[in-house]
Every structure is written in structure tokens, then in C-alpha cells.
Amino acid sequence: MKKTLLFAAMISSAFAADSVPSELRCEYHASPLAIGTTAPRFSWKLSPSTSAARDIQQSAYEIQVAREADGFEKTPLWSSGKIASAATDQIKYAGDPLVSRDRAIWRVRVWDGAGVASEWSQPTSFGVGLLGQADWSALWISSKEDHSFTTTENVQNFIGDPILGKLVLTPAKYFRKEFESPAIVRATAHATALGVYTLEVNGKRVSDERLAPGWSAYQRRIHSQTYDVTKLIREGKNAIAATLADGWYSGYVAYGLFTGQEALVPGVNGRYYYGVSPAVRVQLELEMADGSRKTIITDPSWKTSLGPITETDILMGESYDARKEMPGWSSPGFDDSSWESAVCKTGTASKVEPHPGVPVRPIEEMAPKTVREHQPGVFIFDLGQNISGVVRLKVKGKAGDKVKIRYAEVLHNDGRLSTENLRCARSVDTYILKGDPAGETWTPEFTYHGFQYIELTGFPGQPGLDAVTGIVIHSDVPYHGTFESSDPMLNRLYQNMVWTQRANFFEMPTDCPQRDERMGWTGDAQIYVRAATFNADIASFYTKWLRDLNDDAWDYGAYAAYAPRPLARPNEHHAAGWMDAGVICPWTIWQIYGDTGVISEHWRKMNDFMDWRTARDPELKGAIDDCGFGDWLSVGEVKTSIPFIDLAYHAYDAKLMAEMAAAIGNEKDAQKYQELEKKVTAAFQKAYLMPDGKLGIHNQTAYAMALFFDLIPADQRQAAAGHLAGLVKENGNKMTTGFLGTRPLLPALSATGHHDIAGILMQQREYPSWGYEVDNGATTIWERWNSYIKGSGVHEPSMNSFSHYAFGAVCEWMMGELAGIDRAAPGFDRVKIAPRPTGTITSAAAAMETRHGKLACSWKVESGKFSANLTVPPNTTADVTLPVQGEVREGDSPAAGKPGIRKIQGNQLTLGSGSYQFSGDFLAP
């Protein structure tokens, strides 16, 4: 009989005099310049004084918030006093009212389990952004040339046929304003755009952000950025300048289905879904030592012109004519006499608020691995990794030389670029040289691509490897997860998952970074969201996107198939497994980050969605008014019906809603959804479950979904799991699942006594499998199991992304089951460590950063012995289950300061924080 032992290494005190709280955050950000709330939430982590420290617990905390100008010497805005609590996160400000432009500093001290106080943390800061329309005196400005456009060559669709009409591409617009400044103590620039922009002051770019202010439901909400430009302002003459492009607002978005109809009709030509004329809004606030202010705003006194960016579009690419450069255009003294006055744009009443997420920016650079001349004058570079981003071109030639840059994820068998899967996304950048004898470099600004291969044509001379550099661009989400095992295929697969997540966490969780979609598909998002949290801190990223999702929910209650939602295609209104992101994603953010605020913020819309769902299916048979996506891209002959999927998700959503209602103290709705879950589950069982545990739809997805959603009674659960295992075996130990069925497949098997089969699927190398992708050279996760076919090459160009994270949801199983690290309570206040070796895998190591700190497990099986190194975060307790029989031995642990060995009977342990080493006789599954 297994015994549970509370194992606590006692130390005199976890806190020494030099131990203080660390990693202070406000609204998930370190020292944010402009938060979008007057009731911010604070968080910190506990740092042990030594690596040997164990059982670090917080028993109380005290927070102080003061005005930045006053410091803590004066009466603070808020002093919480000593609060008896273990909480280190989601602690809401409760002091004097905050208003737009407030700047504050804050600090915290904590008490350990023995009641010993730490020192105060180092203070950190936060600022409140512009929260209301009255805070903006700047006007929206545009250019009289906002309808100017160029038409380029006819584009081709994915099968090579010309598409009616031509691309309608617009140049970037340049805006500038000169002003006088007295001596200042601070300068703050607030900026936003209907479109995308960059901002410069006195010839210097204020940030490396790309495609700001991002994409949102422009008709409801527009985001802004705030920059500290104090060091860029001079006493005397100054200049402020902005470059503006169409971006998502008026550029090509989603399906670029060009029809040849009127170019300026919104949505007809695949663009102008939100508006025709992009606009920019900038407000520069100068503060003097005497407390006075001077504000520089966008208005008709600004001058505007075209410039070297002659074409630019997120999907189509960018053209730059270096001969048209305007040296010094963003500095004072530039002759703008030939420039026109800006014009005001009216009719925009959407709320403008600080961007709550992380910026898109260049993250790293990649040098090509190889370059070869495919045809005379056609050079193809291989980065060795599929990425999202652009390239930096390095070239020397004569004025007028034109270099064309094309991109692709894969090559055809004959070595040429495979671009058919881009569909209507041209994805071509062009650079025209100015003839600088010292050489020229250029990086596209307002576009991005998904690619591994780069083709140059028109390059003067023979390019070396340094002619191009890959610039990886995506949302600057903090990545922290690691995974490694004895199976090299799994190691490469994990890297593929991370690279795919990086490429698609681009302002929103997109489906792909390369073709004419790049949208926030809700099905993909809910399938992968839990896996994503193992790899990165996605809290603020999802805070932003969940607002997009709720802003663009359908008026009748359903969540859309993608968000933001620029278009309303009649066959893409709502879909089972897609619209459920509106419930599943907030639930996941709460479970991982302890964030109940996201539940409260969106509760009304979630409740409306559930009410609509119940009303549309009063008999609980599963609705059919659906887009019909189903188990997208499944490969089995027996398909999972839409009513089955709809009813299963209905029950699952009700379960999650009940849990969330309880978490925010809404007992009435908690009871409501508990009863609904029982009712829908009973209806599901009546419709589909047979006495022998067999389902009316007999395929892998149906069983995986029903088991994962807990829709099968306990007395029939093993029988149903047996049917699932049998289906896998009958298929040669290969899966048949699509997007919706793959995520629950391995977890369902492992949870029901078939962990061995889950391991076989994980290590499978034949089609369809993850190993098949890796063996065929994948560096990211494919959209299709057969995106590439051995001997045949690229498959199905009409819909074939090579960077699509949905099937990467198995990362959740790799980290949580194989490596064995997961939460045991919301917010990781209690953690689980339960490694589960399987297959031929003899070792695995995984780590992730929780809101409390690092959680890690590294294990190996050798000569019948199991050993593991564990790391439990501070301020948590771990429920540990090890695959050993007999006694568990705690090995020599210098980190714990303990020579010798401690023997523990039983393989279940409860541990406090710290580092541990254990070993024992391996208990095979």
C-alpha cells in the first residue's frame, strides 16, 4: 500500500537579510510606461537566499505605492499594511485614485513562514497611460495622397492561374513637425494609428517595435503606445516624425480574393475592411522643471510627403527605392517646403487605450547556412530554420539596380521555391539601389513573411552568405520552457513546436505566418493554449487577444471563427471547437496564472454565449448550424459528426464555466452550470454511449474527446478507453485524428491505463505522425500530417502551411505526462511532479517558469534504476509520484547541504520548495 510522506527539510530561516522579493511586475509587465487601468495588479517572486534553501513560504506581505516625484519619504498613495497572505500575484491596487499620466513607484516586503521579515525590494515603477478621449488633444491626420496606389503585375492563385485584376498597393506616407523646446525634465510620446506606424524624434527611432499599434477590432478599440523620449529632446529646435502604412487597417487582410472590381470598395479587393485612409495620431508631452507642460500634437500644421517606401503591405511585401531617400527628413532643419499639409481624418470614435500585451519586434538574427545559384542570376539561401520575419539585405551596385526578394518555407524537388501555398499573398520585397559605393543595407519595415528559403534575383554580382540575414520577428513573449530527452526526434520536435509558436504568436495567436490568412483562428488557439503556457509567459499576450475575441463576438452570442474579425464570410460564422475558445482560453489563463480578472472581465460575454448555445439546441442533440470544420484535417475514414462535437464541447464548456463562476465567487452561476453540465453530459451519453462503453461514432477522435472531457461514467470509462486503444492498434499504432482530436488523444490514453500506447504514438515515425514530419526535415509543425510526401514533394498547395501549431498541442503531454510537470491547483499554488517513462525513452528533462518560479523534473532510467532531479518553486507544495517500487532514496544533495542518504517508504511524496534528488528501483508501467 502506497504511503504519502510529508518531507520537509528544516532550515533556520528561508530569508536572510539580503533576500528580498524579486521580478516585480505590474499588469504582467516590468516597469510599464502606460498601463490601461487605474486599478493595477502587482506580482513578485520569492528568491531564496541560497541554492540550498527549502520550504520557502510567504506568510504575509506589505506593499507601498508612492508618486514617483515624491518617493516613499512622503505619505504614499497606498500602504497595504501587513497582510497575512501567501499571495504574490494578482494583488490589486487599493490606494488613492489614479488618473491618466500618473507615474508611481512601488515596493514590497514579505514575511516568511517563521514570521521573519525581508528587506524592502528595490522599487520599480509604473505609469498610467491615456485612458479617456479627453486625454487626447492630438488629432487624427492623414495625407491627401491617401488614395494613391500602384498596380503591380497580375498575381497568381495557388494553382498558378492568373487572378482577375491586379494588386493595389499603396506607398508609405511620411509626416513631420518641427518645434521649439525649452529645457525639460521629461518627454513622453503617445502614439497610435489606423494602420501601422513608426515614430522618430530628431532623426532617431524611438523604439524597435514593428507594426505598432497592432491589430484590433478597430470599430470598437484602438491601441496606443507610450515612449519615454526624454533623452532625444534638445533645448531649442526639434523635429518629430512618423511613417504610416496601411497595415491591417486598410491593407490586404485574410483571404486576398482579388476580383478586379473597384479598388476602393471596402473588402472587395481583399483590403479596406476597416477603412480606406490610414491615419496617425501623436501626442508629445514635454514637462519642465517648474511643473509646466508643452504639448506637440498631430494637426494640419504637420507636413506630409511620399518617400522611398513605394509599396508596402503586410501580406504582399514591400518595395523600397533608395534613390528617393530624404536624408535628415526626421531632423530639424530639413527643407519640407515641397511637402503638403496633413489633413484631419474624422469619424473615428473608437476607444483608444494602451496596448495591454507585448510588442512585436525583432528578436534575433540568423545567418544563412547555404547559398546556391539555382538558375543564372537566381540565388537561393537556406536559413536552416523556418521563421517569421524579414531579411536584411546587404548589397553594392549602381543606382537603379533592382533586387527582388522572394520567400518560401520549402523547395520543390527541382530546387525552386515552393510558393503555391502562399495563395494570394505575394510575399515579395524589392529594393532599388541608390548606388552608394560603400554599399547599402535595407530591411523591410511594414511587412513580414514565413520562410526558411530566400531567393534573390537582380543581385549585382555573386552574393556571399552575408548578402542576407534572417531577422526573426514576432511578439516579444518571454519564452522559458525547455525539454530534452533520450530520443533525438522528440528533441527536434519540441524545438519545432517552440519555433512554430514563436512564428504565430504575432500580435495575436495566428494560424500561420506565410499565406493569405495569418488570422487569429479560435480553434487553433483553444487547442494549443495550454501547450503554449509550458513554453512561454503568455498572460499579457492573451489578455490582449481575449479582448479582440470578445470585441468581435457575434451579436447573437457566438464567438467568431477568428478574431479580430475583419470579414463576415457566410460559411465561417461559428463552429464547434472554434467558438469554444471564448470559454476554454480564459479558463486556461486562470488555471495557469491565477488570473480571475480575465474571468470577471469577460463573464457577461461568456454567459451570453452559453445562453445562446443552450437556446439553439433545446433538445440537446447537438446543433448543426455550424461552419462544418469538425475535426479539421483528420485522416480517418470515419468522421466525427458536428452534432457529436457540438454536444461534447457544450458539456465541457459548462464544466469550465462552473469552475470559473466558483473562482469569482458567483455561487448562483456556479450551480447553474454544474446542473447544465450534468444535463448535457446525460444527453451525450443517451445519444452516443452504449452499455459496453462503445460510442455511436467509433473513431479515435470521438473516444479521445469523450474521455478527455469526462463525458463517460466511471464504470464504463475503462471499456471506452479499451475501444480507443483498440482503434489505435488496428491502425498500425498510428493516429487518425485532426485538430480537435489530436490534443486529447495522448492524454486520454495515458489517463486510462494505456500510457504505453501513447508513448508508441509519440515515437511513431510513419505517416501520420510527428516523427514523420521530423524525418522529412521539418523545423516547424505542419498544418497537415502530409504537408510533404516522400518521393512526391509538397502536397496540396491550396491549404498547406508548414508553420501551424495545432498539432503541436502534444507538447502538453510531453511536458505534463512524459516529463511530469504540471499544476495541481490554479496558478501553480500547488504543483504536480509525476514523470512517466514510456516506449524506448530512457530519459527526459523539462522545465518551465510558473508565477512562483521554476518547476523542473529531470529523470532517467538506467540498469533498472530510476533517478530524478526535481525543482519545486518557492511558495508552493509539490505532490510527487515517482515510478519506483520499494523505497525511495534521497541521494547526496550538496544543494540541500546533506551528505548521506535518506530512505523513504512509498513512492508518493509531498515536498516543499527546493531542489531534490531521488532514486529507486524502476517500476515499469
State the catalytic residues. Answer: 517, 783
Q: Are the beta carbons of 43 and 91 closer than 8 angstroms?
A: yes
Secondary structure (DSSP) of 176-226: EEEEEE---SEEEEEEEEESEEEEEETTEES----SBT----TTTEEEEEE
Phi, psi of 712 (to 5 degrees): -115, 130
Contact, 520 vs 542, CB < 8 A?
no
Those residues with Cβ within 8 angstroms of residue 438's Cβ, 6 or more apart along the chain or in another chain = 396
Question: Strands 877-881, 830-833: parallel, antiparallel or unpaired by DSSP?
Answer: parallel
Helix and strand element counts for the chain (H, E): 14, 51
Distance, C-alpha 315 to centroid of its chain: 20
Q: Which residues pair with 381 in a beta bridge?
A: 371, 454
CB 188 within 8 A of CB 288: no
> Which of 221, 5, 127 is closest to 906 using CA atoms?
5
In this structure, are residues 739 and 632 in contact, taking their beta carbons and an 8 Å threshold? yes
Contact by Cβ (8 Å): 598, 590: yes
Q: How far is CA 824 from the centre of its chain?
A: 24
Residue 816 has what DSSP assignment? I
**CA-derived radius of gyration, the chain:** 29
Distance CA 94, CA 186 (A): 28
Please name which of 453, 538, 470 lies closest in space to residue 504, comparing C-alpha atoms.
Answer: 538
Q: What is the DSSP letter of 901?
A: -
3-state secondary structure of 918: strand
Task: List the beta bridge partners of residue 364.
Answer: 472
- 510531453: which residue's cell? 814
Please give the Cα distance from 477 to 360 (Å, whole number).
9
List the grid coordinates of 106: 512601488
DSSP state of 898: B
Please tell me the distance from the alpha carbon of residue 559 to that of residue 578, in angstroms, as a whole number: 8
The whole-angstrom separation of Cα 855 and Cα 868 is: 13
- Cα–Cα distance, 375 to 397 (Å, whole number): 20
CA gap 451, 512 in Å, rounded: 11
Count Cα atoms within 13 angstroms, Cβ side, for 227.
25
Q: How many residues does the chain have?
A: 925
**Which residue reads 541608390 in cell numbers?**
434
Report residue 383 as a C-alpha cell.
536559413
Angle formed by the axes of helices 581-593 and 642-663, nearest 10° = 40
Nearest to 724 by CA among 748, 751, 747, 691: 748
Q: How far apart are CA 115 and CA 95, in angstroms?
A: 26
H or E element, residue 813 = helix 811-813
SS (H, E, C) 410-468: EECCCCCEECHHHCCCCCEEEEECCCCCCCEEECCCCCCEEEEEEEEECCCCCCCHHHE
Q: Report the distance separating Cα 781 and Cα 785, nearest Å.
A: 9
Q: Write out 511-535 in H/E/C secondary structure.
A: CCCCCCCCCCEHHHHHHHHHHHHHH
Q: What is the 3-class SS of 60-107, one letter each residue? A: EEEEEEEECCCHHHCCCCEECCCEECCCCCCEECCCCCCCCCCEEEEE
